[in-house]
Structure 1
Amino acid sequence: MTAAPATAGLRAHARLRAEPDGRGTVALPVLAGAGPIALRRTRDTDGAAHVVLIGSMAAPLGGDHLTLTAEVADGAALTVTSSAATLSLPGPQPGPAHLAVHLTVGADARLDWRPEPVIAASGSHLLLHTRITLAPGARLRYREEQVLGRHHDRVRGAVPGRLTSRLTVRRAGRLLLDQQTDLGPGAPGWDGPAVLGPHRSTGQLLTVGHPPPPEPPPGADAVLLRLPPPDAVLLTAAAPDALTLRTLLGGGAAPA
């Protein structure tokens, strides 16, 4: 970990790499947490190494610059979850917090990325950019969930935080998806009918090389979009809370 002076906020870069070990299982030659991002290997499932992201301190705070890099080598399989939600908080430094996530999946490799939601607490602003690079034959399940405001923020009538998020995906050297959302106070029209409306949770499930998720139920604020080539599918949903959102994304157990 490299820490910047106190006036500049925290800077930290966590890294992990998964690769076949030649014995039919997956090794993790690089598993290096940093700053508030701790990495722990847990029980492997479905032939994939399983890594849990653990928040070791309050972060990201305003002024922080955090980076997480995960690489899945050719032929390897990796599942990444988290022990709790990522909570964006206002900090002692002015300006937003920055979180960069870089995911690389090699040829005939598989990544299942499904951490708990990112929550923008009142007074915070998080700039999140996730970049995913897929080699030919790579398979991906990528789920992201975003919640504006904590429950007790809403109970006391506080405005939520702001979350500016960008997702860029390249497959075999070609751009597959590049989109950005800007939600929360200060973002133009974020609570209008063309964006979130009355909802405060949104998320998406991107699958590449997997069977597509089922169509959303009638009346749900969700849409299933097929991307070229036909084995890439994006499910996007908006919901009043994280529980409903997780159900719409078909993610199994809902966040606490």
Structure 2
Amino acid sequence: MRTAGGGRPRRVIPEPARLATEPDPPAGTRVRLLRSAWPLMLRRTLPCASAPIAAWSRRDATAAWVHLVAGGAGPLGGDRLRLEVDVGARSTLVLGEVSPTLLLPGPYDEESRTEFDIRVGPLGTLVWLPQPVVPAAGCRHRTDIRIALHHDSRLLLREEVLFGRYGETPGTLRQRLRATAGGRVLYDQELVVGPEAPGWDGPAVTAGLHAAGTVLLADATLVESRPGRHPHSGGLDEHTALFALPGPGLAFTALAPDSATLRRRLDSAVDALLSGPDRKGPG
């Protein structure tokens, strides 16, 4: 941190955190690059996912497991954080997170920003399971997630947002997720909540509920094996939706009154999407 005129700090944008994998013959995955950039700390970990996720992730190669650990509070207003991930051809990465991300205001009412740039190479697989993002009152934050898939790579992503801590009105969060497959847009969605987004808690957006989440699946073999009917179609209600993507892929979205209910709905969706077309949808 340096001081500009008038004594106000001028933030120095740090180098991004970087993570890269490559195949480890005959059927494994090696972490080729693991470089943290405070407060984004990357750590190798043991497998800890559900049975359907574990089985799906190791279809082509045994996965490398890495978790993101927060090295400090925030992001705070004015912070600029960036993570670059390169999943090499024929390798598999499961990327998790140890704790939820609490977005906090800074002393100068500046916007904080987190960027994720992710590439998955030919026949590569990425499972990304971050913990919930919580925009605290007064924060102003933007998250940009950019995922570039090869046309035959695979992706499973679960994302969750809680609208503020208990009993408080959330700050402003702008979160955009854009995924491409083979250069074509697979999914491009932006969620904006908080005081800078009038109507965000109305019936057309979050319906006054406290949490929202998405499961994104890109797997040509799995999706194309289910012509005519998607799993989950019997278990949807007014707060959940499942739709097909070009590519091919599937996206499941859910609203919920609290974090526990949201996680159950998303976990049920993951189980159904990965375990077969005859599974029931979430309760």
TM-score after normalising by structure 2:
0.81
Q: Give the distance between the partners of 2:77 and 2:67, measured in 1 at CA.
A: 24
Instruction: Say which of 19, 22, 30 aligns to 1:19.
Output: 22
- What is the alpha-carbon distance in structure 1 between the residues aligned to residue 237 and residue 155 of structure 2? 28
What RMSD, in angstroms, separates the aligned Cα atoms of the two structures? 1.8
Aligned amino acid, residue 226 of structure 1: A
Q: 1:250 aligns to what SS in structure 2?
A: helix
CA spacing shift, 1:91–1:216, aligned 2, 3 Å? farther
Q: 1:216 offset after TM fit, Å?
A: 6.9
Say which is worse superposed, 176-185 or 81-90, in terms of deviation. Answer: 176-185
**CA distance, structure 2, for counterparts of residue 104 and residue 216 of structure 1:** 34
CA drift of 1:27 comes to 1.0
Question: Counterparts of 1:139 and 1:198 in 2: how far apart (Å)?
Answer: 34
CA deviation after TM superposition for structure 1 residue 221, in Å? 0.2
Checking the alignment, whether the CA contact within 8 Å between 1:39 and 1:52 is kept in structure 2 is yes
The structure with the largest alpha-carbon Rg is: 2
1:235 lines up with 2:252 in the alignment: yes
Identity %: 36
From 163, 172, 181, the equivalent of 1:162 is: 172
Paired residue for 2:146?
131
Aligned residue pair count? 243
Q: Using a 3 Å threshold, how does the CA distance of structure 1 residues 28 and 120 change in structure 2: closer, same or farther? A: same
1:177 to 187, 194, 206: 187
Residue 200 (structure 1) shift: 1.7
Contact map agreement 1:216 1:224 (CA 8 A) in 2: no
TM-score by length of 1: 0.89
Deviation at 1:10, TM superposition (A): 6.0
Give the match for residue 89 of structure 1.
Answer: 104
Unaligned runs of 5+ in 1: none
Which structure: greater helix fraction?
2
Q: Verify the 8 A CA contact 1:216 1:222 in the aligned structure 2.
A: no
Give the C-alpha shift of residue 213 in structure 1: 5.6
User: Quick one: structure 1 residues 213 and 33, their matched pair in 2 at CA, closer, same or farther if it must change by over 3 Å?
Assistant: farther
Paired position in structure 1 for 2:196:
186
Counterparts of 1:78-157 in structure 2, within 5 Å, are 78-151=93-166, 154=167
Alpha carbons 2:109, 2:140 under 8 Å: kept? no
Quote the residue 1:224 is aligned against. Answer: 242
Shift of 1:5: 3.0
Q: Taking structure 1 as reference, are residues 149 and 247 closer, same or farther at Cα in structure 2, changes over 3 Å only? A: same
Query: Which digits, 9 at most, give the CA deviation of each residue in 1:202-241, with x for residues without a partner?
Result: 1101000045663473435010010123x30000111111
**Conservation of the 8 A alpha-carbon contact between 1:8 and 1:63:** no
Of residues 210, 234, 245, the one that matches 1:200 is 210
- SS state at 1:11 partner: coil
State the 1:59 CA deviation. 1.9
